[in-house]
Amino acid sequence: MNNKLGSNQFKTRKGMKNKKIVILFVSILVICFGIYAFKAINNWYNTHYFEFKAPVEVKLNQPVAIKTRIPKIIEKKIILDYPNDIDTPLEQYICDKFGLLDCKIALSVAQAESGMRENAYNHNTNNTIDIGIFQVNQIHWTKPGCSPKELFDAYKNVDCAYTIWKGSGWGAWVAYNTGSFLSKL
């Protein structure tokens, strides 16, 4: 009987030893898993965070606000050049006198008024006379450089027309007001 009792004791001790090894192994696994989970959660929190917001927000606004307007600056390069169809020194002079922006209009008005003839004259229905390539009307003859003698000189006619244009714009010419200059553009 002693042998039976001794072998049971041995089995119990051996079973206890196996249980302790299993418990130790499971404990080591649980600790390793815990460390791994802790590191994974810690790494997640390094790149993420919780932001708590109010589910409903009430905000009062001013119904009218006065703000300073800041204009937008648009830069655009404009390349100005004389028209390609300038054939004569007189046309070049007109463009030099009126500038690049009004060059084509000036040439078209002169072409529509007189056909660019410096000796052109016209007797109007209101008993006035127009002279030269810009057909300067006699109401301007008292202005400096606008006498009838000077107006038959093409370059002086351009100078007089420029003086009139500086004072009242293109509205002084019938060809501009009627739009007949547009066909000469």
Comparison of pLDDT for 78 and 76, the residue scoring more: 76
List CB contacts of 154: < 8 A, sequence separation 6 or more.
90, 118, 132, 133
In a domain, 20, yes or no: no
Mean pLDDT over 93-105 rounds to 91
Task: Provide the residue range defining the domain that includes 147.
Answer: 89-184
pLDDT in tens, 23-68: 999 999 999 999 999 998 888 888 888 888 888 888 888 888 888 8
Query: How many CA atoms does the CB half-sphere of 110 hold within 13 Å?
Result: 29
In a domain, 84, yes or no: no
pLDDT in tens, 131-145: 999 999 999 999 999
**Is it the case that residue 130 has pLDDT exceeding 90?**
yes
In a domain, 179, yes or no: yes
Count of domains forming the chain = 1
In a domain, 170, yes or no: yes
In a domain, 133, yes or no: yes
- What integer pLDDT is reported at residue 1 of this predicted model? 47
- What pTM, to 2 d.p., does this model score? 0.56
CATH number of the domain enclosing 142: 1.10.530.10
Beta strands (DSSP E) in 28-180 are 121-123, 129-131, 136-137
List CB contacts of 101: < 8 A, sequence separation 6 or more.
80
In a domain, 118, yes or no: yes
